[in-house]
Amino acid sequence: MTGVELEEVSIRYGDVVAVDRLSLQVENGRVLGMLGGNGAGKSSTLRAIGGVNAHSSGRLMVAGFDMSSPDGADAARALVGYCPDIGGLIAQATPDEHVDLLGSLRGSRGGRAVSDELIERFGLSAVRDRPAGTFSHGMQRRLSVLLAVLSARDVLVLDEPFDGVDPTGVEVTVSAIREAARAGMAVVVSTHLQQLLTSASDEIAVLIKGRLAAQGSSQDFSGSDGERRYADLLQSVVVEAVA
């Protein structure tokens, strides 16, 4: 079953086209890594999948619901765990308070036992009673990912989850991504860190200037050959712009 499907999806902000006729599919139980530099359209795409922003045109289906319909978008949001690329936390609230608020608004998988276990795994036990605004950037990213994992039912969307995160946090995040896929979720992860993304994903989609530049297995973009392939894609855009 397809957990996320984009067909000719475009996203515009006024006259700016952030995403241009993008078509992608993410099957349940699979992890799609979205690779691209700044301005590639990754965050705009993930915000649309997460139901934060509406797409401008095309067909976007999430967990079987049409995101063009208000009722469909509401139903999909209840099944998606979404970690934004920036923000999303309450500076004055502690990890425990974030978890309690999430539970009251949306519920969380497994209740307090699961949330306690995740707080331990993500290395937040010692700071669970401290306001999130006092955390380092990497610790805030860990908390954002944790909240997305807790709220995800059918689809998990993580935008730049590795940004500023130390190796221990990276390992825990990759483990959480793989566990979500094994549980049958469709997972979408974005970053500009190529080798890290290939280790966490089954497939890779490269976005450049809002368009799908290439797509393949994670092995296609792994190692030195994969780095050269990605570099060639970026260089071709530079050459095209100069020409």
Contact 46, 188 (CB under 8 A): yes
Does 217 score more than 60 pLDDT?
A: yes
pLDDT digits (tens, 9 = 90+) for 57-78: 999 999 999 999 999 999 999 9
Number of domains, the chain: 1
Distance CA 184, CA 208 (A): 29
Mean pLDDT of 88-92: 94
Tell me what pLDDT residue 243 has: 43
pLDDT band at 17 (very low <50, low <70, confident <90, very high): very high
Domain range enclosing 108: 2-242
Contact 28, 184 (CB under 8 A): yes
What is the chain's mean pLDDT, rounded?
A: 92
Lowest average pLDDT, out of 96-110, 145-159, 201-215, goes to 96-110
Q: Identify the CATH number of the domain in which residue 187 sits.
A: 3.40.50.300
Structure tokens at 70: 């208000």
Rg (CA), the chain: 18
Distance CA 203, CA 197 (A): 10
Tell me what pLDDT residue 156 has: 98
Q: State the distance between the two ends of the chain, measured CA to CA, in whole angstroms.
A: 43
Give the C-alpha distances (Å, rounded to integers) separating 90 from 17, 50, 99, 111, 142.
31, 19, 11, 21, 14
Q: Is the dihedral of CA 67, 22, 35, 223 positive or negative?
A: positive
Residue 105 corresponds to which amino acid? L
pTM: 0.93
Does 56 score more than 50 pLDDT?
A: yes
User: If phi over 0 gives left and psi between -120 and 50 gives alpha, with beta otherwise, what is residue 180?
Assistant: alpha
H-type helices in the chain, by residue range? 42-49, 70-77, 95-105, 111-121, 137-151, 167-182, 194-200, 223-242
pLDDT digits (tens, 9 = 90+) for 117-172: 999 999 999 999 999 999 999 999 999 999 999 999 999 999 999 999 999 999 99
Tell me what pLDDT residue 241 has: 46
- 3-class DSSP state of 61: strand
Tell me what pLDDT residue 26 has: 97
pLDDT band at 239 (very low <50, low <70, confident <90, very high): very low
Distance CA 124, CA 114 (A): 14
Distance CA 211, CA 34 (A): 12
Contact 106, 149 (CB under 8 A): no
Helix, strand, coil tally for the chain in percent (to 5): 45, 25, 30
Instruction: Please give the angle made by the CA atoms of 161, 167 and 171, to the nearest 5 degrees.
Output: 65
